[in-house]
Amino acid sequence: MTMKETKGKTVYLDNSATTVALPEVVEAVKEALVSVYGNPSSLHGMGVAAERILRRARQEVAELLGVEAEEIYFTSGGTEANNWALRGLAYSLRRRGRHIITTEVEHASVLEACRGLEREGFSVTYLPVDSRGAVRLEALEDSLRDDTILVSIMSVNNELGTVQPLEEVARILATKGPVLFHVDHIQGYGKVQLNLKKLNIAALSLSAHKIHGPKGVGALYLRRNLNMLPLLVGGDQERGLRAGTENVPGIAGFGVAASLARKSLPQSIEKMRRLKMQLAERLLTGIPDAYINGPEPTSGAPHILNVSFPGLKAEVLVHMLEEKGIYVSTGSACHSRRQNSSHVLQALGLPKDRIDGSIRISFSRLNTDEEVEEAARAICECVAELRRL
């Protein structure tokens, strides 16, 4: 979408859809495009230089997770990482069992991969969530079977900001035998810290453009010595598990973005949560019948706020705000052009008018107090105007 011309300052609060690339990231991408443009598989010096960029980026992406660089495999983005995790692990384990467990509120790249596996003879259980969007743990315990091979649960819900109880999930799985645990960490990377070893996570998906990196690049963490089948074949790249010439410019930018995120992590988390709570308070006090969907602003992920204004159409509100230079969304960017209501908000059991009138506001560490005040003022004005019509 082309950003519209507005009279005042642009306030970008759709950072769960994507983030602006940092200047250091742009510079790293540019250098890999115009200076270090060799193929990392080539044996000559330019190839070696490109391979060195991959090695450095892999180390930076791994350090933000607290894992080994050799456990990181680059992909074309988060969707490929999720597809690969689900399909690759399911295929590699199908002799042991064909039952997979996930939740009703996962991203479409997990849900559609699961539905594809169902068509191939796998059985999938979709766990319900509570009113905050957190997975019901008793349902997980009841759903585990002798032929369960894989459980896939996101760390942070992309529409609500709900942080899933992964420690409790890991504790349950530890009592039920060799079930692999995949986590979609695309919305949590650089915002919510996980201890992958303690949680016994086997696979975990990442995306660069959610942390001020380039679009078109992501990664899949695979625990060392995991038996995994490739999704793409035809080359020895990524240690034979992901064929195709690596996106060196994108990966270079990803590494820089991960490094910068790691250096500012505690301060970024604190700042985003403060801005989120500041905006939530302004909206709840300034707009009658405004509701927070999902967890309370004091809990959940620090950067996602989902608010309903029953009786309004969210799409209309989003476009009114755009005219004022305020950019928010109606939910997941991957489904923003569909007419269907959010499957995440439906899973919470919300009434239709609350679902139809919901917007997602998502922060980055670059947002400011002044921007939040500007957004609050604009949202209050637009909601009041729409309710007068």
- What confidence score (pLDDT) does residue 339 get? 60
- What confidence score (pLDDT) does residue 1 get? 43
Which percentage of the chain shows pLDDT scores above 90? Answer: 93
Q: What is the Cα–Cα distance from 189 to 185, expressed in whole angstroms?
A: 6
- Total number of residues shown for the chain: 389
Q: How confident is the model at residue 9 (pLDDT cuts 50, 70, 90)?
A: confident
- What confidence score (pLDDT) does residue 2 get? 47
pLDDT tens by residue, 205-218:
999 999 999 999 99
pLDDT tens by residue, 277-336:
999 999 999 999 999 999 999 999 999 999 999 999 999 999 999 999 999 999 655 555
Mean pLDDT calculated for residue range 103-118 = 98
Task: Tell me which residues are annotated as active site.
Answer: 334
Helices 265-286 and 248-263: crossing angle in degrees, nearest 10, is 80
Q: What are the beta bridge partners of residue 204? A: 183, 221
pLDDT tens by residue, 347-378:
999 999 999 999 999 999 999 999 999 999 99
Which percentage of the chain shows pLDDT scores above 70? Answer: 96
Contacts of 230 (CB under 8 A, 6+ apart): 84, 88, 240, 241, 242, 243
Mean pLDDT calculated for residue range 47-67 = 98
| Residue 83 clears pLDDT 60, i.e. is over it | yes
Q: What is the Cα–Cα distance from 30 to 36, expressed in whole angstroms?
A: 9
Mean pLDDT calculated for residue range 138-166 = 97
Q: Which tops the pLDDT comparison, 6 or 29?
A: 29
| Residue 6 clears pLDDT 60, i.e. is over it | no
Mean pLDDT calculated for residue range 250-278 = 97
Mean pLDDT calculated for residue range 253-260 = 98
Q: How confident is the model at residue 338 (pLDDT cuts 50, 70, 90)?
A: low
Indicate the average pLDDT of the chain.
95
pLDDT tens by residue, 190-239:
999 999 999 999 999 999 999 999 999 999 999 999 999 999 999 999 99
Place of tokens 């300052």: 9
User: Could you tell me if 342 and 333 are in contact, meaning their C-beta atoms sit under 8 angstroms apart?
Assistant: no
Strands 203-207 and 218-222: antiparallel
Q: How confident is the model at residue 177 (pLDDT cuts 50, 70, 90)?
A: confident
What tokens appear for 259 in the block?
């490094």
Nearest in space to 183 (alpha carbons), one of 231, 151, 139: 151
- What confidence score (pLDDT) does residue 337 get? 55
- What confidence score (pLDDT) does residue 176 get? 83
User: Could you tell me if 132 and 98 are in contact, meaning their C-beta atoms sit under 8 angstroms apart?
Assistant: no
Nearest in space to 6 (alpha carbons), one of 256, 348, 324: 324
How many other β-carbons are positioned within 10 Å of the β-carbon of residue 8? 10
Beta strands in the chain (DSSP E): 11-12, 72-75, 99-103, 123-127, 148-152, 180-184, 203-207, 218-222, 291-293, 304-308, 326-327, 358-362
Q: What is the Cα–Cα distance from 365 to 22, expressed in whole angstroms?
A: 11
- What confidence score (pLDDT) does residue 245 get? 95
